[in-house]
Amino acid sequence: MRVYVYVLEAKGLPVRDSYVKVQVGKLKSKTRVVERAENPRWNEEFVFRVHDCEEEVVLSVYHHEDGRGGLFGSSGELLGRVKIPVWSVADEENRILPPTWFAVGKPKAGKFIRKDCGKILVSISLHGSLQDTSSDSPLFPSSNINSNQAEEEMALAKSQAQKIQDGKHWMKAIANRLEKIFAKHEDVSETCASSEVSGTPSDYEDCVEKQQSDYSFEEALSMMQSRDCQREMPEDLQGGILCDQIYVVRPYDLNIFLFAPDSKFRRDLANLEGTTDLEEEPWTLKQEDPPLLTRTVTSTKAATKLVKAVKATEQQSYLKADGKHFAIFVEVSTPEVPYGNAFKVELLYKIMPGPEEGSGEESARLIISWRVNFHQKTMMRGMIEGGARQGLKDSFYHFENLLAQSFRTLDSAELSDKGQIIASLENEQQSDWQLAIKYFCNFTMLSTICMVVYVIIHILLCKPSEPRGLEFLGIDLPDSLGELVACGIITIQVQRVFYMASHFVQARLQRGSDHGVKAQGDGWILTIALIEGTNVASLSSTGYSDPYVVFTCNGRTKTSSVKLQTCDPQWNEIVEFDAMEEPPSILDVEVFDFDGPFDQATSLGHAEINFLKHTSTDLVDMWIFLEGKLAQSAQSKLHLRIFLDNNNGVETIKEYLTKMEKEVGKKLSMRSPHRNSTFQKLFKLPPDEFLVSDFACSLKRKLPLQGRLFLSSRIVGFYANLFGHKTRFFFLWEDIEDIQELPPSFISVSSPSLVIILHKGRGMDAMHGAKSQDEEGRLRFHFQSFVSFNSASRTIVALWRTRALMPEQTEQIAKEQYDQENTTVLVDEATILDKKDADMSKIYSAELPIEMSSLMELFGGGKKEHQIMEKSGCLNYSATEWEHVKPGTFERSVSYKFNRHISIFGGEVTITQQKVSTDDGWTVDEVMALHNIPFEEYYRVQLKYKIEKSGQNHSSCKCDVYIHIIWLKSTKFQHRITRNITSKLSQRLKDIFELVERLS
C-alpha cells in the first residue's frame, strides 16, 4: 500500500523561515525551505510505502536558521508535530483525506514550548494520486497505480480498519472534548466543526478551506482587485531578467492575453516550441486573506539533443492583481529530467503601467525574472543552473518574438524623447495671471473687497457732522461699540489681504536665478521634469500648504517654484543641472513649505533616488514616495521624469580617467566593452557605468573570503564565488566616511589591511559583507591580501577623495593649487634662470660638423625648428618671438605635447627659455614644466645649452647640455623620477641633434 502525503501550506507560524519533515515508519523526507513567510506555501507531494494501517504520518515543522550547526548545518529548531494515523485516512470516503487544517502541537522542550505554533494544511491519499478520483481539485498530480492494485489495497485497508471502527468514534469525541477545554489559543470560530462526530469531510480538520471554482477568470480578478489593493509588487527573482519590454497595450489587456483560459498566445507558443499535450486547468480562487488565484498547467516539452521529451507541470499563482499591476508566480517542476526531484524552476511575471505615448495611448511594462530553487543538496548545482538559464533564454526568445507580433513595442528612443516631453510640459504651464486669479478667488478676498467698497461709498455719501465727545476737527472716533468692532474687522481683513499679496509675490520670486536655465558644458547633464505631487502634508489649520521642491545632486542645488494653497500641486516644470565631469550617483529630493524669504522652511518630506538602482526606463516616468513623519502619515508622493545624458560620449570618460591619473599616480586606461558589460551585469548596473580598476583581495569576516574588488566611477563592489556560494555587494563612494590602513599583523597573515568605514545608516544593502558594525551604527569593511597593497590603497583613496569632496570644495582646491603652482613657477623661473651652473650634471656632449648659425636655428623659431621638434615627437609645437629683457639677454615661451611614443601620459610641456650671447657663442637656459602627468607639481626641469665654436674647425661647433631637477615638494619617488627624466632626456637630445645634423 502507498500513502501519498501532500503538504500544502501553513499559517500563523511564529517564525518566517520554515520547512516540514514528513515521516512514515522509518521513511523520511522533507520540503524545501520557504524564507521570509509566516504563511508559507510548499505544495509538495511525498510517496511512502506502508504495510500496516496502524502506522502514523508524522509531520514535523522546523525553523530553518542559516549557518547554525557549524560546517555541515543543522536540522533547525522544532516548532511542533502533527500525527495522523493511516487508519483514519483509510476510513474516509474513497480513502482520501481532503485538504484539512491541523493544529501544530507544541514541542516538549525548546524555545517554542510556550508559543502558538500555528496550523498546517495537509491532504493524504491511500490509492495513488488524487487527480484520478478528485478531478475537481487542481492541486494533485496524476497517479501511476493501476486499478487492480488499488482494489487489493482497498480490501486490506478495510479489513484492518474494521477492527477499530467501533472505538474510533469514542476516541474522536473524547479528543474533541479535551480540545475545547485545553486549547486556550484556539478561537471558537476556528474549531467550527470539531465537536461533531459526523457531518464534515474529516473528523480531524479544524476548518476546511473551500475551493471556489464558480467564478469566471474576469470575475476572480475583480474579486482580487477589490480585496488586494494594498499588497506591494514583489521583488525580481535573483536568477536574472529574461524579458524587460514595454508594449503599447493596457496592462489589464496584456494580462488577459497571456493568462486567460485557453489563451491563443499560449497555444501558438507551444506550437512554435514543439510543446505537446498542453492542458490548462481552470483558475481556482482560494478564499483566503488575501485571496489567491491559482491553476495548474501540464505539458510535454519537446526533446533536445541532450534531454528527451519530458513532462512539465506549472503551478501558476496570482500574487497581486489590482487592475493595473499584476504579479504571477510560476513554479515549474520537471521530475523526469536528471536530478529533476532536487529543484524547481521559478518564474515571476510582473505587468505594470508603462509611460504614456505622445499620442496618449497606454502602455504596459512586462518584466519576467527567474531562479532555480533547490530543495535538496546536489553537486550538480552549477550545471543545473547553467542548463536552466540557457533553456529559458531560448524559450523566451520565441516568447518575445511572438508577443511582438501582437503588440507594438516601445524602444528607449521613443521613451526618452526629452524634447517632446519638455515641450509638452512647457505648454501646460500656467501664467501668473491664472495663478493669481486661482489664489485670490476666495472668501477672505471677496469679503474684504466688499467691506472696503462699502466703507468708501459710505464715506462719500455721508455728510460731515459736528464733533462729539472727545472728538475734534479732523478726527472721527467710533461712536458706538458696533463701530469699534467693524473697524477692527476691516483692519484685520485688510492686513490679511496684504499678507496674501506679499506672500504671492514672494512665492513667484522663489523660482531663483537657476530655474529654467538650460544646462551648459560638456559632460553629464541631468534634466528633471517635475510633474505633480499628491497628498502633500499640511502644517496649517486650513489643511493646505505652499510646497516647493529642492533637488540636490553632486553638491549642486536647484529649486522649483512655489505652489500656493494646495495639497495636490501641479508644477509641470523643467529643472536642469549644468554638465558634471563625474557621473552623479544620487539625487536628493526634498519638499518644503514656503513661509517667506527670511523664515526657516519646514520640510514636508524627502526622498533619495539612486541612479544605479534604476534603469533609464524606470527614471523616465516614476512616482516616488516621500519619507519623514509628515509625508508618511499623509502618504505623499511626487511624479518625476528624469533624464541623465552624457553629451560628450566617450570623451567624458577619457577626461575623467585622465584627471584620475594625476590623483592615482599611474596610468588608467579604458576597459574593453566586453569587460565593462560583464561588470555591469555582475552588479546589475546601468549601461553608462564604466569600470576604472579591479584588484584581487580577501574580504575579512569570520572566515576570510577570497574574491575581487571592483572600482568604478560611482561604486566600490566586491564579488566572490566559493563553490557556487556567491557573495556580491556594492556601496557608493559617497557612503564612505573614512578609509584606514592597518599595518601587517599575525591575524592578517602578515598582510596590511584596508578598512573602509561607511557613514551611519548608509550602505545597508551591503551589510552582509561588513566585518562589524561599531557602536555608532557604522559598517566597517576589511580588505586584505592585495597583490600590490600600495597601488590598490592609493587608487581607492584617490577615487574616494574625488567623490567625497563637494564641487565647490574641489573647485576651490583646484584654484588654490593653480594659483600656488603659477606663483611657484614664476618665482622659481626667475630664480633658476639667474643661477650659474650650480649643481648641474652634464647629460650630453658632442662636436657637430655644422656651423653654429645652423645649430642656433634650433632656437630660432622658424620652419626648421618646427620641423625638427615635430619629427622628434612634439605635437602642437608653438613658440613666441624672442623678447629683449636686458642687455645681451632674450626670452621666449615654448609649449608642445609629447606623443605616446615618448610618454604614455601624453603630457603637455611649457618652457621658458633665455639665450645669452657670449664671447665664444651662445648659452640657452630653459625651465621645463610638465603637465597632466603624475607628480607634476613636485618638480621643475632646468636645462642649459652651451654652444661654442670648435677650435679645430671653423665649420663645426661644440654643444654641451647640462640638467638639474628642482624639487618643489618632497616625495619618496625623487630618485626614481630623477633617473627616469635624465635617461629619457639624454636619449631625446641625442635624437634632436642628429636631426639637426641631417637637415643642415
Whole-number pLDDT of residue 717: 95
**pLDDT greater than 60 at residue 105:** yes
Whether residue 708 has pLDDT greater than 90: yes
What's the pLDDT score for residue 161?
42
CA distance linking residue 789 with residue 778, whole number of Å: 24
Of residues 388 and 507, the one with the higher pLDDT is: 388
CA dihedral of 70, 74, 77, 78, whole degrees rounded to 10 = -160
pLDDT of res. 823:
41
User: Is 138 or 419 the better-scoring residue by pLDDT?
Assistant: 419
Give, rounded to a whole angstrom, the gap between the first and last alpha carbons of the chain. Answer: 109
Question: Is the confidence at residue 291, as pLDDT, over 50?
Answer: yes
- Looking at residue 460, its pLDDT comes to 77
What pLDDT is attached to residue 198?
31
Given a cut of 50, whether residue 142 has pLDDT beyond it is no
Single out the residue of 806, 727, 926 nearest to residue 556, CA to CA: 806
| Cβ–Cβ < 8 Å for 968, 939 | yes
**Res. 200 pLDDT band, cuts 50 70 90:** very low
In the predicted structure, residue 343 carries a pLDDT above the cut 80: yes
What pLDDT score was predicted for residue 154?
Answer: 45
Band (pLDDT 50/70/90 cuts) for residue 417 is: low
Question: pLDDT for 803-859, tens place per residue?
Answer: 765 544 455 544 544 454 444 433 344 444 554 555 688 888 888 888 888 888 888
- pLDDT > 50? residue 699: yes
Spatial separation of the C-alpha atoms in residues 43 and 568, rounded to whole Å: 46
In the chain, pLDDT over 90 holds for what percent of residues?
15
Give the lowest-confidence range in 19-23, 321-325, 414-418, 585-589.
Answer: 414-418
Helices 974-999 and 863-871: angle between axes, nearest 10 degrees: 130
CA distance 549 to 600: 15
Q: In the predicted model, what is the mean pLDDT of residues 951-974?
A: 82
Phi, psi of 134 (to 5 degrees): -130, 75
Neighbour count for residue 924 (Cβ, 10 Å): 18
pLDDT at 746: 63
Q: Do strands 41-49 and 637-646 pair parallel, antiparallel, or not at all (unpaired)? A: unpaired
Give the start-end residues of each E strand in 222-359. Answer: 240-247, 276-280, 284-286, 292-301, 310-321, 326-333, 343-353
Work out the mean pLDDT of the chain and round it to a whole number.
78
Per-residue pLDDT at 824: 40
> Which are the contacts of 550, defined by CB distance < 8 A and separation ≥ 6?
557, 558, 559, 560, 589, 590, 591, 592
User: Average of pLDDT values for 171-195?
Assistant: 41
Write the burial class of residue 451 (CB in 10 Å: 0-12 exposed, 13-18 middle, 19+ buried).
Answer: middle
Question: What pLDDT score does 213 carry?
Answer: 44
- Residue 696 pLDDT: 93
Write down the pLDDT at residue 209. Answer: 39
pLDDT digits (tens, 9 = 90+) for 609-659: 999 888 777 788 888 999 988 888 888 999 998 888 887 777 878 888 888
pLDDT the model gives residue 299:
92
Q: Does pLDDT of 174 surpass 60? A: no
CB-neighbour burial class of residue 366 (10 A; exposed 0-12, middle 13-18, buried 19+): buried
Whole-angstrom Cα distance, residue 209 to residue 639? Answer: 42
Largest CA distance in the chain: 138
Is a pLDDT exceeding 50 seen at residue 867? yes
pLDDT band for 429, please (50, 70, 90 cuts). low
- The stretch 84-113 carries a mean pLDDT of 82
Q: Which residue has the higher pLDDT, 483 or 881?
A: 881
Evaluate if residue 179 carries a pLDDT over 60: no
The per-residue pLDDT for 187 is: 39
| Buried b / exposed e along 395-408 (16+ C-beta atoms within 10 A) | ebeebeeebeeebe
- Return d(Cα 345, Cα 372) in angstroms, integer: 5
Query: pLDDT tens digits for 891-937?
Result: 998 988 887 677 766 678 889 999 888 888 889 999 988 887 777 77
Given this model, what pLDDT does residue 227 score? Answer: 66
pLDDT (tens digit, 9 = 90+) per residue, 974-996? 888 888 888 888 888 888 888 88
Q: What is the DSSP string of 371-390?
A: EEEESS--TTHHHHHHHHHH
Instruction: Please state which of the ranges 170-174, 266-270, 331-335, 957-961 shows the lowest mean pLDDT.
Output: 170-174
The grid coordinates of residue 447 equal: 469679503
Q: What is the pTM of this model?
A: 0.46
Per-residue model confidence as pLDDT tens digits over 655-671:
888 888 877 777 888 88
Q: How far apart are CA 693 and CA 800, in angstroms?
A: 13
Lowest mean pLDDT among 24-28, 471-475, 686-690, 725-729: 471-475
Q: Which grid coordinates belong to 783?
A: 580588505
User: Rounded mean pLDDT of 318-325?
Assistant: 88
Residue 736 β-bridge partners: 758
